[in-house]
Structure 1
Amino acid sequence: MLISLVKAGKNMNSSKTKAVVFVVDDEPMLLELAEAILKPIGYNVRTFRDPELALKEFPAARPEVIVTDYAMGRMSGMDLIRECRRLNPKQKMVLLSGSVDEQVFADAPVKPDRFMSKPYQIHELTDCIRTLIAA
């Protein structure tokens, strides 16, 4: 299945952007999937199982977009969003979750730019990132 998803990602029309995209998730298979989708269409993908490591690399790498899971142990995706926005208020952020919906952060002072439910379709992820980079 992963092979067919990679092939589908390679066949998508896209310019070679080389934009840096961080993908943060504590599940290795989901990191591999996101990388398999995004790298063939030209993104410079950096994957992290630990959100604290992503936060440490954030200032030097200056990613265009950060895609993060919601539930990840010691540091949640919302914690990562808050910390990244503290360092760069304009940082573009996508929050993923298979267990919660947008109501979880409806009253939060800092919100992601986009929310996506897992599982997501390939075009949902690529369209979301493309739209955020173009904005």
Structure 2
Amino acid sequence: MPVRLKSAIIPTARILLVDDNRSGLMARRVVLEELGYLTDGASDARKALELFRCGQYDLVVTDFKMPGMDGVELIEKIREEDPAIPIVLISGFVDALGLTEKSTGANTVIMKSANEVQHLIRAAGRLLKTPKKPPLAERTVSVRARKKTAN
């Protein structure tokens, strides 16, 4: 069943794709670019961090199992730099390892399966329509400022 996205998605949203499996990386890239997203790909987490630091991304999609640094470690490093960036983690080990949004730091965790692409399209559409929340420290300052002006 085809997935239809509404037009409220960020126009030309930039997505960073990370996967050491070239086929998986290319398959996701082709599908997302056909939907109008701009994508950059990295074959490992270290390269992904370099790209992330040099670019402006609206979404990160990463595989879990990669040599050197796994997807959860990558998520931790990205969160240190941008706590609000939406991140999707994709893995064939979701159930076996108990990978959840809470345990990984990802906004969405997707199991590799025949329906993976449909789940990714839905997740991207949902996450890119959601306005980014500022980091907690900025929200706290904002609340304090409002209280001062209200008094």
Confirm or deny a common fold (TM above 0.5).
yes
Secondary structure of 1:66's counterpart equals: strand
Identity across matched positions, percent: 26
Secondary structure of 1:68's counterpart equals: strand
The amino acid of 1:131's aligned partner reads: R
Name which of 47, 50, 54 aligns with 2:41: 47
Separation (CA, whole Å) in 2 of partners of 1:84 and 1:71: 17
Q: How many residues align?
A: 125
Name which of 117, 122, 128 aligns with 2:117: 122
Separation (CA, whole Å) in 2 of partners of 1:34 and 1:125: 8
Match status 1:28 vs 2:22:
yes
Instruction: String of CA shifts for 1:47-88, please: whole Å, max 9, x gaps.
Output: 111111110111221211101011101000001100000001
Residues 106 and 68 of structure 1, relative CA distance in 2, 3 Å threshold: closer
Residues 13 and 114 of structure 1, relative CA distance in 2, 3 Å threshold: closer
Gaps of at least 5 residues in structure 2 are 131-151
The amino acid of 2:93's aligned partner reads: S
Secondary structure of 2:106's counterpart equals: coil
Residue equivalent to 2:137: none
Residue equivalent to 1:134: 129
Contact 1:20 1:61 in 2 (8 A): no
When the two chains are superposed, the root-mean-square deviation of aligned CA atoms in Å is 2.2
Match status 1:74 vs 2:65:
no
Separation (CA, whole Å) in 2 of partners of 1:49 and 1:25: 5
The amino acid of 1:130's aligned partner reads: G
Contact 1:69 1:97 in 2 (8 A): yes
Separation (CA, whole Å) in 2 of partners of 1:92 and 1:63: 9
Residue equivalent to 2:148: none
The amino acid of 2:128's aligned partner reads: I
Measure how far apart 1:13 and its partner are: 5.0
Residue equivalent to 2:87: 93
The amino acid of 2:122's aligned partner reads: D
TM-score by length of 2: 0.74
Separation (CA, whole Å) in 1 of partners of 2:108 and 2:53: 21
Gaps of at least 5 residues in structure 1 are 1-7
The amino acid of 1:134's aligned partner reads: K
Separation (CA, whole Å) in 2 of partners of 1:80 and 1:24: 10
- Report the structure number with the largest CA radius of gyration: 2
The amino acid of 1:40's aligned partner reads: E
